[in-house]
Amino acid sequence: MGSKRHRSKTEATLLHTVYSLPGRITLSFALLLPLCVAFNLDVDTPSVYSGPEGSYFGYSVDFYMTNTPGSESIIVGAPKANTSQPYIREGGSVFYCPWNHGQAQYLNVTLNDTETQAEFKSHQWFGATVRAHSDSVLACAPLYSWRTKQDTPESDVTGSCYLSVNNFTKFVEYAPCRTEFHGAKGQGYCQGGFSADFTKDGKVVLGGPGSYFWQGMTHFLLTDIHLMDLLVGAPMFMVRDSDGRLEELGRVYVYLQTGPLELVPQLPHLTGTQTFGRFGSSIAPLGDLNQDGFNDVAIGSPFGGKDEQGLVFIYNGYTKGLREKPSQVLAGQWASNAPPAPPASFGFTLRGGKDLDQNGYPDLIVGAFGVDKAVLYRSRPIVNASATLSVYPTMINPEEKMCTISSGNQTMHVSWYVLFNVEVQLDRLKQKQKGVVRRALFLDTQQANLQRNLKVPNNAKFCHETKIYLRDEKEFRDKLSSIYIALNFSLHPQAAADKHGLRPILNYQTTELIEQKAQILLDCGEDNICVPDLKLSVHGDRKEVHMGDDNSLTLTFNARNDGGGAYEAELYVVLPPEADYSGIARNNESLTQLTCSYETENQTRYLSCDLGNPMKSGTNLWAGLRFTVPRLKDTRKVVQFDMQIRRYVSPFHSSACVETIVSRPDKVFLLLPNRRVTKNVAVEQEIGPPVQHIYELVNNGPSRISHTALQLKCPLGTRFMYPLEVTTQGPVNCTTQNVVNPLNLKSCSSVECWTLQCNVGLLDKGTSAILQVRSRLWAETFITVSFVRLSKIAWSLSLLLSFFPMVSFFKRLSQLSFCS
């Protein structure tokens, strides 16, 4: 859209937040703006003008702005309105509606009060076209009929226009199609005034389509090379749905002028989303609505939306033309006393590009002739805000305690700086977890939330400093997961309004999310990545238990860590049905006195004992657990205890990163020229074109993956794909129980599939495994099956990937037998 100097009525800069936090910090910077619901066209307090019922008031609209202060108005055409003219039915009228700062007033302007026997003004649709330029108004009646000879019954639909100048003080009729010659060879079916406009210097341009119909086309500056671009509406454009049926969605074609008379289409085209919505029926240039230096456009869909009441889509311009998604959608919603409600045709006519309230932003008029209304939307001033975030240091040592809270305890702290109105939440994710404390608090309030209302002058910066601190390590257990800081900023609800009551709004293109990270310094080496080497050994104080005895049993275990620190390490013991837990072994001073909890979940009884947070490198502890075995049965020969060492693995230190599978190219056109069906296939080339699928599994670390399962399914049935060869690279072993078979069909959830099962071995950080499946498409299927049938068959290959990063160290005590 036209390049111009950036202008904004309200600007502010948010320079913010310098943190030094324990844990990893993610600062969430979110705008409270719903995209495609409301940007800067004010939908809360629009000016709504209503005309006589059934008059088609709102069929045409325009701004009427003269050089006289306070004269800002709009003109609205009502082509089916009745007037005071005798013997004329539904001659049409034009309404002059002073804006008066939001108060709708009406004045019926009579521009054609003459009547002769040669004229036919009933149903002439006067007001179907209205245009204004300075203090001039042009209003047309395209169905006006003229009879060349008064004594003959024949008449021609020539159309006629009236031009009002000098603020409705002088009127001139303009009917260029009206001549002395009757019929098709003369004035014909001209319909002069079906479309009309003013040039920049005030000259009248009139359209007479005759038997042809043109609608939904406009030109204006989109890009910054000062050449007019072209938008063409095709409101009845059809596309095929997934079932192959045609749907009328409408389309707008955008042509960018790269040089004199060199129009290049912008792809993709703008296509409607609602069936029979007539997207592209009207197109209006808006000027630079959001003051970003590029012009914007409104596109009408008069039968879209709820109950087909109509929609208007606002598209913003940028360096390459128009953005693909609308920044705002206006909806026409009016209640009807007699359901179903008639279509409002909201968006059938649009007019923009003029600043009615003189606030520096162009406004928009939307006509809804189906309910005899016209709606004026004024643009709200836009606040352009920016934010920056710095986090230091990125590695926080919880042992360095420099702040004193009111209780007198020493703790770690951080300073931060922020500009603008803000709400900051510390450790936001913990807020959603019941019974979990927030690990970071603000020093001055000892709360996890901070709210500030900061008044920032135009083009100014404002800084605010406070401190937060990390709780004592004894107050929380989680040291690996990030401490999330969520920053929400918005304009204050009582932000200063302009002289007409419009409040500013934040630019929807403002960056909504800012993230920075810091971590608690862990006992994990220089890279702060923990890779422990946990080992567990167990032995019992007896090898046999006897039915009928108390059978007290002590299991002594040794837990070692020969690697990096293991956080939230615990001994996990699953009790057999025959045994009960008695307590910690306390009769030996060399054994560590653990803290254990006894739980039951889904009829599974288990014991969880804390081994340290962290279980530091070099830890070598001995401890004992006492049990009784009172429920022995002669049906089992062994009493089995399952014991594991578990540690917490941060989701941000996960052992695998699975990327979305992308097909390149995503679409392939199958061309089968002069190919014939071969009944007896002897070589693979006779089957069809080759297809090769490549699946690459990459471990981005930091941890290793011990085992991964990869499963590929190809449906069986209609001949679609013929698997030929499976090759692998890396620690991959693939097997299939199916014969490599050329019959393939539909989905694998309900029909038989050719299944390839692959087991992937150890993947260290930075290593990968690759699976290649070479096959060929069955050309016979695409030649012999009709298109209609093909469109109803959905073929797909499904890929299921499972990986197991569970970090646990397992020891099974299985040699305890019993005697009867």
Q: Which three-class secondary structure state does DSSP give residue 779?
A: helix
The set of residues, in sequence order, having a beta carbon less than 8 Å from that of 767 and lying 6+ positions away, is 698, 699, 730
CATH of the domain at 795: 2.60.40.1530
Residue 702's pLDDT is what? 58
* Closest of 517, 523, 553 to residue 538, by C-alpha: 553
Q: What is the DSSP string of 397-423?
A: -TT---EE-TT--EE-EEEEEE-SSEE
**Tokens in use for 236?**
């009845």
Residue 393's pLDDT is what? 66
Residue 104 φ then ψ, to 5°: -80, 120
Strand intervals (E) in 190-347: 195-198, 204-207, 217-220, 229-234, 238-240, 246-248, 251-259, 262-265, 270-271, 282-287, 296-301, 311-315, 317-318, 321-322, 328-331
Query: CB–CB of 19/27 below 8 Å?
Result: yes
Domains held by the chain: number: 5
143 and 228 co-located in one domain = no
Residue 729's pLDDT is what? 82
Residue type, 47: S
The set of residues, in sequence order, having a beta carbon less than 8 Å from that of 745 and lying 6+ positions away, is 715, 716, 717, 718, 720, 751, 793, 795
End-to-end Cα distance, the chain: 93
Alpha carbon distance 641, 581 (integer Å):
11
CATH of the domain at 544: 2.60.40.1510
Q: What is the DSSP string of 557-626?
A: EEEEE-SS-BTTEEEEEEPPTT-EEEEE--S-TTS----EEEEEETTEEEEEEEEETTB-TT-EEEEEEE
239 and 329 co-located in one domain = yes
241 and 133 co-located in one domain = no
SS (H, E, C) 294-340: CCEEEEEECCCCHHHCCEEEEECEECCEECCCCCEEEECCCCCCCCC
Q: For 787-817, what is each residue's pLDDT tens digit?
A: 445 544 545 566 666 654 433 333 333 334 3
Q: Strand pairing partners for 285?
A: 297
**Tokens in use for 199?**
């040039």
Q: H or E element: which one contains 18? A: strand 18-19
Q: Strand pairing partners for 583?
A: 626
582 and 708 co-located in one domain = no
The set of residues, in sequence order, having a beta carbon less than 8 Å from that of 699 and lying 6+ positions away, is 655, 656, 657, 705, 763, 764, 765, 766, 767, 768
Query: CB–CB of 220/228 below 8 Å?
Result: yes
Listed residues 520, 546, 577: the one ending a domain: 520
Alpha carbon distance 131, 699 (integer Å):
65
Q: What is the DSSP string of 15-63?
A: ---EE--SS-EEEEEEE---TTT-SSB--SS-EEEE-STTS-TTSEEEE
Query: CB–CB of 314/267 below 8 Å?
Result: no
Residue 77's pLDDT is what? 94
* Closest of 282, 279, 162, 155 to residue 215, by C-alpha: 282
Residue 791 φ then ψ, to 5°: -65, -20
643 and 576 co-located in one domain = yes
- In the numeric block, the tokens 């804006």 are attached to 99
Residue 747's pLDDT is what? 37
In a domain, 285, yes or no: yes
**Tokens in use for 760?**
């992937």
In a domain, 113, yes or no: yes
The set of residues, in sequence order, having a beta carbon less than 8 Å from that of 671 and lying 6+ positions away, is none
Q: Hey, CA dihedral for 574, 575, 576, 577, is it positive or negative?
A: negative
Residue type, 214: W
Residue type, 713: K
- Which residue segment(s) compose the domain that 135 sits in? 47-207
Q: Strand pairing partners for 465?
A: 417
636 and 722 co-located in one domain = no
- In the numeric block, the tokens 């692959």 are attached to 758
Strand intervals (E) in 736-795: 753-760, 768-777
In a domain, 487, yes or no: yes
Helix, strand, coil percentages in the chain from 3-state DSSP, rounded to 5: 5, 40, 55
Alpha carbon distance 800, 199 (integer Å):
63
Residue 113's pLDDT is what? 52
54 and 203 co-located in one domain = yes
Per-residue DSSP letter, 764: -
286 and 410 co-located in one domain = no
701 and 746 co-located in one domain = yes
Query: CB–CB of 692/727 below 8 Å?
Result: no
Residues in the chain with pLDDT values less than 70: 1-38, 101-118, 148-153, 183-188, 210-226, 334-341, 386-395, 402-423, 425, 459-464, 511-518, 650-682, 701-704, 706, 715-720, 738-753, 782-820
Query: CB–CB of 281/236 below 8 Å?
Result: no
15 and 52 co-located in one domain = no
Listed residues 278, 307, 342: the one ending a domain: 342
CATH of the domain at 488: 2.60.40.1460
How do beta strands 251-259 and 544-546 pair?
unpaired
Query: CB–CB of 712/773 below 8 Å?
Result: yes
In a domain, 53, yes or no: yes
Quote the distance between the C-alpha of residue 255 and its chain's center: 27
Residue 102 φ then ψ, to 5°: 105, -15
Alpha carbon distance 536, 463 (integer Å):
54
The set of residues, in sequence order, having a beta carbon less than 8 Å from that of 247 and lying 6+ positions away, is 238, 239, 240, 241, 275
Count Cβ atoms below 10 Å from residue 29 Cβ, excluding itself.
22
In a domain, 354, yes or no: no
511 and 548 co-located in one domain = no
Alpha carbon distance 332, 374 (integer Å):
11
Listed residues 476, 498, 520: the one ending a domain: 520
Residue 382 φ then ψ, to 5°: -105, 135
In a domain, 361, yes or no: no
In a domain, 212, yes or no: no
In a domain, 371, yes or no: no
Alpha carbon distance 761, 605 (integer Å):
33
Alpha carbon distance 636, 146 (integer Å):
109
180 and 325 co-located in one domain = no
Residue 278's pLDDT is what? 94
Query: CB–CB of 801/708 below 8 Å?
Result: yes
Query: CB–CB of 296/220 below 8 Å?
Result: no
